[in-house]
Amino acid sequence: MDILSIVRQYLTSANEVTEVQVEYKDGSTMKYVFSAKKMNEAVREAALLSLFNDVVWEEVEEVEVEMSNGEKVEIDLDDEEDEA
């Protein structure tokens, strides 16, 4: 499974996501904020679509997700690395 598919599967099943931080192999990072209290479902879906389209997934090293309760989760991208 490619990195985009792994991230998409995780994010579309986790409605309590408030922030996604993407770290690239060169060390640069991008942060995407999803304010759960202020976003309706259509806006959230548009923001997710933007994330999926804007990121250069082939260059991603790590993806960290922050949940509404403050918990931070690193999405396991090892499936992609094992296939390479």
Better pLDDT: 43 or 24? 24
Backbone angles phi, psi at 83, to 5 degrees: -80, -20
Provide mean pLDDT across the span 29-58. Answer: 83
> Which pLDDT value is given to residue 68?
82
In the chain, pLDDT over 90 holds for what percent of residues?
Answer: 32
Within 10 A of 34 (CB to CB), how many other CB atoms are there? 21
pLDDT at 59 over 80: yes
Q: Which residue(s) pair with 32 in the sheet?
A: 20
Q: Return d(Cα 19, Cα 57) in angstroms, integer.
A: 17
Residue 33: the pLDDT is 86
16 to 4, 20, 30, 81, 84: CA distances (angstroms): 19, 11, 19, 27, 31
pLDDT at 38: 64
The pTM of the full predicted model, rounded to 2 decimals, is: 0.78
- The contacts of residue 27 (CB under 8 Å, 6+ apart) are none
78 pLDDT above the threshold of 70? no
pLDDT confidence of residue 27: 95
